[in-house]
Structures are given as C-alpha cells and as structure tokens.
C-alpha cells in the first residue's frame, strides 16, 4: 500500500504540467548560470487572474464557471497565447501553458511575451448561445488586462475562430470602436490571416522536413504516426500526406486506426467529417491511443494533449523523430529515457510554434490594415520555422545538450537579455 501511495504521488507530480515546465526551466537556467535575481523573476508569472463567470443557461438557470488568464511575461512585448475550454482545466496547467508561450515566442524570436487562458467547462454539453455568453462575460471581466498592446488571446483546445470573433466584438463594444488586433485566429473575413488555421500543422511539416533531411532520411520512406486529428493533427496529416510521407496511424479522442501500408488521408478526413469518429473505418485496424504511441514508425507526432509520453511508456516509443504538436505531451521524466534511446526530439516550444508565428503575422496585418496573400504568409512562416529549427539544433550541438534543453536555454537567454537591458522596476 505504502509503495503504491508513493508511486501515485510521484505520478501526480510527474504529470503536473507546471512541474514539467519548471524542471526543464531549472535545468536550463542552471546551465546558463542565470543570475540569481533574474532567476527569481523569471520563474514566476507576472500576473494570474481568476474569474468567476455567471452565465444564463438556456433553461433560465444561472451557472457560475471558473476561468483563468495567466500572464507569464511581458519583457519582449505584449503577452500572447490561447484560451482553452475543458472540464479538466487547472490553474497549474494554465500557468505552465502561459510559461510555455513565453519560451515559444522567444524560440521563434517574435516580439511577444506569454499568456494562457482557460475556463473549466464542458463545451460538448453547452449550446452555441451558452458558449457565446460565457465567452463574452469572460472577455468583459478581462477588459482591462487584454488588448493589442497588452495581451492578445488566440484559439486553443475547444475554442475556435467563432470564439475569437465573439471576443473581438465584446472588446470592441467596450472600446467603442473595432479593435481587430485584440485577438488572433479570427475568421479571415473578420481581419484574420490567410494560413492561420493551418499554421500549426504547416509549421510541424516544416520542422519535420528539416529533421528528416538532417538525419539523412527521405519523406517517401518515412512512416508517420499522428495522435489527434483536430486542427493540429488533422492539418499535419493532410499536409504531410501531400508531401509524400506515409501516414500509418491517426487517432481521435476515442482511439486510433493503423495500416502499415499507409492511410488514404483525404478519404479518412472525409470519413471523419461525416461520421465524427474514426471507428469502423475500413482498410485499417483499430488501436488505442496508448498503443498508437508505441507503433513502429520513423516520426511520432503527438498532437492531442499533455502527458502522453511519460516514464511509464517512454522506453516503448520506437520513433526516430518525435515532433511535438501538442503542448507538453512529454513529461520531464520521459526526456532522459528518450535521449538515451537516441530519439531526435523536436520540442513543443519549437515544433508547434507555427500557430503563434502566424498569429504574429495576423497581429501585424491587423495593425497595418493591409493583408497578405497566403503564399506570402506561408513563405514567411517557413523562413521562421526553418531558421528556428537550425538555431535550436546548433545550440544543442554547441552546448552538448538535448534539443529540448537547448530550446529552453535559447529562449530563457533571450528573455533574460531584454529583462536585463530594460532593467527590473523593483
């Protein structure tokens, strides 16, 4: 019993995203010999806001939801980061995700700090009108804290272009004029950017291409396993299939499907759109989301949620390249196991940074009032993703650390530098 209890505690700690983030941060800060005063400042968020959100439900009752916005850092520019709606949102999770946004924006060198929002709710059980009222009240409560120069939200799990349109409208009603740059990931006709919807998946393709080239592999001979088929996993699957990769497994929240000869992705996506599940899809065998991670493949792309690769299954992971589409899919304890097994990791704060990079383009376009063609967006996205990939890999080689710690070191160094130059108003 006692042993089981210790194991449970260890697992809870391992799977706390804030612990996952902090253990990498501490390791990187130590290697950088970060000044102790700067360390104290950078290890905590700038501000954490908790909001209790009353919402009229469709049956006339009022329900009170809990929401958060954590603004982790503003040193390099306005805070930036998505908002997620999910029943299991916690403050620690939002805290970790906010910090990851700071490091992510610094890795790709765009002029933002980091933030994240979350509301504890089950969107699958709510009507569109309930979600609209929730979003508007959450936005109204945050009115003094967000804005194009302050903090710019975006979509994340279970929030969409529609959610961003409601936030933009609510903020604009209070400001008494239309403020498009208060959020990114808006519908294109509402001052959104071409290419934003696909940007995270496209960014994953760009960095995976670089890793494949670096390891002397070829797309045609590369089997890819993708966990998740939402905006990130689904887009990555489509674009990688078009590029010539062989996608052998894909999953949704219920489970996955596998075909060693490769899946017909356009057909599968049509099936998913029609049936809302991959179950009973022909020409493939069913696998669970856990089995899927352990399949034989060259590229594993977790694009679902946190804590998928842990100390319990890391030794069973067979891929050569791990491209992290989700935020925090790998725990800190799993990092060492993957490293000793020679897995080439493209860490989340680099791999999935295509989304926020295109958000940066959207914010720039909104402030200019001048919109770019999709080709230009994709070309600029590619430039940033490819350059950032090589920055991280070179840093790792020069400092004899793994790619993840290199990405953290590069990011922390950039944030620490501007903090030092600006000075701490203490």
Q: Does 184 bind ligand GLU (CB under 6 A)?
A: yes
Say if residues 139 and 170 touch (Cβ distance below 8 Å).
yes
Task: Say how many residues touch ligand GLU, by CB under 6 A.
Answer: 12
Q: How is the chain split among helix, strand and coil, in percent rounded to 5?
A: 50, 15, 30
Closest to 182 measured CA to CA, from 153, 142, 159: 153
For ligand GLU, the closer CB: 82 or 337: 82
Closest CB 359 distance from ligand GLU, rounded Å = 3
Specify the residue, 305 or 359, whose C-beta has the smaller distance to ligand GLU. Answer: 359
Query: CB 423: neighbour CB atoms within 10 A?
Result: 7
Q: Which parts of 87-222 are beta strand (E)? A: 114-120, 151-155
Compute the least distance from the CB of residue 248 to ligand GLU, in Å: 26
CB-based burial, 215-254: b 16+ in 10 Å, e otherwise: eeeebeebbbbbbbbbbbbbbbbbbbbeeebbbbbbbbee
Q: Side-chain half-sphere of 127: how many Cα atoms within 13 Å?
A: 8
| Residue of 80, 116, 186, 246 marked catalytic | 116
295 binds ligand GLU (CB under 6 A): no
Question: Taking Cα atoms as reference points, which of 145, 426, 204, 148 lies closest to residue 329?
Answer: 204
Q: How far is the CB of 82 from ligand GLU (least distance, A)?
A: 3
Nearer to ligand GLU, 230 or 286 (CB): 230
Quote the CA–CA distance of 354 and 384 in Å, as a whole number.
Answer: 9
CB 320 within 8 A of CB 215: yes
To the query of whether residue 316 is one of the catalytic residues in this protein, the response is no
The CB-of-387 to ligand GLU minimum distance in angstroms stands at 18
Nearer to ligand GLU, 259 or 378 (CB): 378
Question: Are 306 and 17 contacting, i.e. CB atoms less than 8 angstroms apart?
Answer: yes
Site string for ligand GLU, 151-170 (x = CB under 6 A): ---x-x--------------
DSSP state for residue 330 in the 8-state scheme: B
Shortest approach of ligand GLU to residue 323 CB, angstroms? Answer: 15
328 counts as binding ligand GLU under rule CB under 6 A: no
CA dist list (Å): 282 to 271, 288, 300, 375, 383: 10, 16, 23, 36, 39
- Among 222, 231, 289, 327, which residue interacts with ligand GLU (rule: CB under 6 A)? 327
Residue with smallest beta-carbon separation from ligand GLU: 82
Q: Side by side, which strands form the sheet with 151-155? A: 47-56, 62-73, 114-120, 79-86, 151-155
Binding track over 64-103 against ligand GLU, x by CB under 6 A: ----------------xxx---------------------
185-214 binders of ligand GLU (CB under 6 A): 185
CB of 375 to ligand GLU, least distance (A): 21
What mask, x for binding ligand GLU by CB under 6 A, covers residues 336 to 375? ----------------x--xx--x----------------
The residues binding ligand GLU (CB under 6 A) are 80-82, 154, 156, 184-185, 327, 352, 355-356, 359
Report the catalytic residues: 116
């Amino acid at each position: 019993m006692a042993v089981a209890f210790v194991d449970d505690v260890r697992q809870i700690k391992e799977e706390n995203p804030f612990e996952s983030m902090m253990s990498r941060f501490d390791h990187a800060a130590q290697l950088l010999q970060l000044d102790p005063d700067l360390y104290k400042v950078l290890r905590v968020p700038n501000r954490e806001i908790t909001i209790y959100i009353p919402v009229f439900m469709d049956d006339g009752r009022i329900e009170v939801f809990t929401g958060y916005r954590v603004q982790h850092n503003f040193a390099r520019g306005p805070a930036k980061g998505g908002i997620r709606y999910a029943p299991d949102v916690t403050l620690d999770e939002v805290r970790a995700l906010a910090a990851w946004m700071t490091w992510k924006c610094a890795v790709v060198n765009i002029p933002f700090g980091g933030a994240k929002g979350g509301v504890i709710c089950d969107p699958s059980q709510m009507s569109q009108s309930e979600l609209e009222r929730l979003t508007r009240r959450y936005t109204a409560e945050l009115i003094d804290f967000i804005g194009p120069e302050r903090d710019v939200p975006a979509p994340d799990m279970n929030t969409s272009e529609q959610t961003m349109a409601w936030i933009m409208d609510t903020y604009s009603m209070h400001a008494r004029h239309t403020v498009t740059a208060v959020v990114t990931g808006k519908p294109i006709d509402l001052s959104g950017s071409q290419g934003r919807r696909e940007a995270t998946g496209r960014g994953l393709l760009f960095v995976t291409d670089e890793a494949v080239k670096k390891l002397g592999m070829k797309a045609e001979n590369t089997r890819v396993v993708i966990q998740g088929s939402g905006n990130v996993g689904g887009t990555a699957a489509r674009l990688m299939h078009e590029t010539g990769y062989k996608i052998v497994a894909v999953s949704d929240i219920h489970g996955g499907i596998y075909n060693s000869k490769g899946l017909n992705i356009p057909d599968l996506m049509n099936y998913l759109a029609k049936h809302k599940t991959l179950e009973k899809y022909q020409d493939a065998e069913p696998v669970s989301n856990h089995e899927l991670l352990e399949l034989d493949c060259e590229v594993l792309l977790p694009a679902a949620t946190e804590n998928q690769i842990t100390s319990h299954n890391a030794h069973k992971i067979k891929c050569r390249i791990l491209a992290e589409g989700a935020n925090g899919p790998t725990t800190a304890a799993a990092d060492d196991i993957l490293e000793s097994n020679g897995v080439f990791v493209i860490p989340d704060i680099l791999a999935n940074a295509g989304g926020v990079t295109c958000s940066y383009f959207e914010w720039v376009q909104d402030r200019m009032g001048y919109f770019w063609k999709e080709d230009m967006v994709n070309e600029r996205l590619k430039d940033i993703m490819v350059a950032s990939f090589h920055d991280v890999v070179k840093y790792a080689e020069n400092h004899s650390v793994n790619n993840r710690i290199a990405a953290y070191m590069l990011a922390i160094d950039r944030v620490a530098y501007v903090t030092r130059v600006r000075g701490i108003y203490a």
